[in-house]
Amino acid sequence: MSEHQFVPQVEIFDTTLRDGAQGEGITFSVQDKIAVARALDELGVAWIEAGNPGSNPKDMEFFRLARDLGLRTSKLCAFGATRKKGVTPQEDMNVRSLLQAETEAIVLFGKSWDLHATEVLKVSLEENLAMIRETIAFFKDAGKTVIYDAEHYFDGWKANPDYALSTLQTALEAGADRIVLCDTNGGSFPDSVEEGVTQAIRLAARSAAPALKALNRGIESEKGNEQGNEAALYELAGRLVGIHAHDDAGMASANSVMAVKAGARHVQGTLVGFGERCGNAALAAIVPSLELKLNLRCLPEGRLERISELTRRVAEIANVAVPDGMPYVGSHAFAHKAGMHADGILKIRRSFEHVDPARVGNDRRFLMSEVGGRSAIAERAKKIDPSITKDHPVTAAVAARLKTLEADGWQFEGADASFELLVRRELGKYKPLFSIERYRVVSEHPASDGTTCSNAWVKVKVDGTTEIAAAEGDGPVNALDGALRRALERFYPELGRVRLSDYKVRVINGNDATAAKVRVLIESTDGESAWTTVGVSTDIIDASRAALVDSIEYKLIRDIERRFKAYL
């Protein structure tokens, strides 16, 4: 079976490129949108909502270029509104622009809350239904798959349930292939979502909707009692119904899962969860729950194991970080600090983990601290030397060194890369790949050229060869980072792909005022993975230098070991 023939039990619809782009601080270039679409196709989502060609020329340019993308699993959708009042769909320029996108599917949003029809659009309730009916019929006549987003559905259903349901009935009768119930304001709770979805599916099951008839064709009628037939029809109708949840009450994931448990088989969201206001339902948190907890297939076989990697990739393109505490894919998702937890995991993994992290492409992490215990240290050290046990002398040495450093202000629980280098030093398996002979950082205020205010000069030595480089930056750390990597790229060109993705400074003892020690945490990425390092000093630049050096050495050591394993 080809990937295009894969039929999911739950359709996953990603709107990162449309609703996600409405999130604060999120901006995609056309090339960014292409990169995101490719990542989502690699994951295997069914639908990618890629933008609104009628309101954004950049989206139209994307659709033009996307015709040659060659997506293997996903299908693109163009997004727009039902026709305006007082005109036909043929006369509405925004409606017609959706055809110009040349996508297989069109996503239309219309009003299901009577308040929006009468007070926002300033149309009668009958005219609103006509707008829904005529626009859907227009696209069905053009041979398009139509996904109808019932905007503000749950608010409308609470205020005027008969009218909200009539908008769904109208959409189905006009030929909509999916009706998606949108919690646009993000304020609904799971119990109301369950009831709303149940009613929508019953409506779809009772209707003579063309989409339901199409699903019935080729499916042999069930034999048995009437109750069994009703159950089969309800299940079939659930394929027409979807959920689109926002997270304004912190319920987006719960509401999405509850909708599926109520029978909906189409789930919309953004992979990382960013979007309008508090964000959309995070698909990276929902899909694993549906697959691993409810045994519902959402992605082609083998794709779930890539969800952590691809979530990080999409976040990187959007220039945001995957939230550390994000379920399944965040760096904290399988992180264990307490010694009792670490000991329990090592004895019976399910004692403190609800799923195996490998199933979602994530890693188990033991946070290194004075409460972590030797079992956790030994487990981390085994990645470098499998012979290490909690009773090994190196384990005791690392534990003692860890306590000494933490007493001096160092903290490794959020700096896995620096901890690994610490273990390597204790094991005697560490050889510096370069050394900084000298460096100088100068800041100028105000900057004479109006663009940069800092510059750095660094002299490094690699295998007896010296290299000197300088760089300007938007601050002293940025300048030092630029100069250091420029000097080293002659020897290690792979560093050209590395950049700092996060930088944090913490004053360790505020009683010493400006003479206090500071702890610097730096997160780096090469576009495929991320790692964090730490540095401590009374000099913020020197603390940054220590974290930068660890970051570069960790990247180089890891690449060397990967090449060695590939050679073997």
Q: For residue range 337-350, list pLDDT tens digits in order.
A: 766 665 666 677 77
Cβ count near 544 (within 10 Å): 25
| Contact between residue 504 and residue 443 where contact means Cβ atoms under 8 Å apart | no
pLDDT grade for 500, boundaries at 50, 70 and 90: confident
Check whether residue 18 and residue 146 sit in a common domain. yes
* pLDDT of 282 over the 90 cut: yes
Q: For residue range 135-181, list pLDDT tens digits in order.
A: 999 999 999 999 999 999 999 999 999 999 999 999 999 999 999 99
User: Which amino acid, one-letter code, is at 25?
Assistant: G
| 451 burial type by CB count under 10 A (0-12 exposed, 13-18 middle, 19+ buried) | exposed
Check whether residue 345 and residue 368 sit in a common domain. yes
Of 427, 445, 467, which residue constitutes the final position of a domain?
A: 427
Check whether residue 198 and residue 230 sit in a common domain. yes
* pLDDT of 57 over the 60 cut: yes
The reply to whether 327 falls in a domain is: no
Q: What is the dihedral of CA 33, 34, 36, 39, to 10 degrees?
A: 170
pLDDT confidence of residue 218: 52
Check whether residue 377 and residue 504 sit in a common domain. no
| Contact between residue 277 and residue 248 where contact means Cβ atoms under 8 Å apart | yes
The reply to whether 322 falls in a domain is: no
Length of the chain: 568
Contacts of 26 (CB under 8 A, 6+ apart): 20, 274, 318, 320
d(CA 428, CA 391) in angstroms, rounded, equals 18
Residue 548 DSSP label = H
pLDDT confidence of residue 344: 67
Residue 501: CATH number of its domain: 3.30.160.270
Q: For residue range 444-486, list pLDDT tens digits in order.
A: 776 665 566 889 999 999 999 999 999 998 889 989 999 999 9
Can you tell me which residue has the tokens 């622009």? Answer: 97
Check whether residue 105 and residue 217 sit in a common domain. yes
d(CA 496, CA 203) in angstroms, rounded, equals 57
Residue 270 DSSP label = B
* pLDDT of 226 over the 60 cut: no
The reply to whether 328 falls in a domain is: no
pLDDT confidence of residue 174: 97
Cα-Cα-Cα-Cα dihedral sign, residues 203, 208, 209, 211: positive
Q: What is the dihedral of CA 284, 285, 289, 292, to 10 degrees?
A: 50
Check whether residue 343 and residue 304 sit in a common domain. no
Number of domains in the chain: 3
Question: Percent of the chain beyond pLDDT 70?
Answer: 91
The reply to whether 330 falls in a domain is: no
At 101, phi and psi to the nearest 5?
-70, -25
* pLDDT of 308 over the 70 cut: yes
The reply to whether 329 falls in a domain is: no
* pLDDT of 224 over the 70 cut: no
| Contact between residue 450 and residue 424 where contact means Cβ atoms under 8 Å apart | no
Crossing angle between the packed helical segments 30-43 and 307-317, to the nearest 10 degrees: 170
- pLDDT, mean of residues 75-96: 96
152 token code pair: 């503000």
Centroid of chain to Cα 308: 8
Q: Kindly report the pTM of this predicted structure.
A: 0.75
pLDDT grade for 394, boundaries at 50, 70 and 90: confident
The reply to whether 152 falls in a domain is: yes
| Contact between residue 13 and residue 266 where contact means Cβ atoms under 8 Å apart | yes
* pLDDT of 253 over the 50 cut: yes
The reply to whether 195 falls in a domain is: yes
Cβ count near 564 (within 10 Å): 9
Region of poorest pLDDT, from 76-85, 218-227, 285-294, 497-506: 218-227
Region of poorest pLDDT, from 311-315, 332-336, 352-356: 332-336
Of the spans 212-226, 253-267, 309-323, which averages the highest pLDDT? 253-267
Crossing angle between the packed helical segments 125-141 and 161-174, to the nearest 10 degrees: 20
pLDDT confidence of residue 340: 63
Q: For residue range 519-554, list pLDDT tens digits in order.
A: 999 999 887 788 999 999 999 999 999 999 999 999
Of 317, 347, 368, which residue constitutes the final position of a domain?
A: 317
Check whether residue 402 and residue 450 sit in a common domain. no
Of the spans 44-58, 99-113, 198-212, 438-452, which averages the highest pLDDT? 99-113
β-pairing verdict for 11-14 and 266-269: parallel
Q: For residue range 426-439, list pLDDT tens digits in order.
A: 888 888 999 999 99
Check whether residue 247 and residue 302 sit in a common domain. yes
pLDDT confidence of residue 346: 64
316 token code pair: 């990187």
At 452, phi and psi to the nearest 5?
-125, 155
* pLDDT of 2 over the 90 cut: no
Check whether residue 69 and residue 113 sit in a common domain. yes
Check whether residue 389 and residue 528 sit in a common domain. no
d(CA 387, CA 381) in angstroms, rounded, equals 9
Cα-Cα-Cα-Cα dihedral sign, residues 472, 478, 480, 486: negative
Check whether residue 504 and residue 356 sit in a common domain. no
d(CA 344, CA 366) in angstroms, rounded, equals 12
When comparing pLDDT for 397 and 10, which is higher?
10
Question: Percent of the chain beyond pLDDT 90?
Answer: 65
Structural domain that includes position 384: 335-427
* pLDDT of 368 over the 70 cut: no
Check whether residue 280 and residue 349 sit in a common domain. no
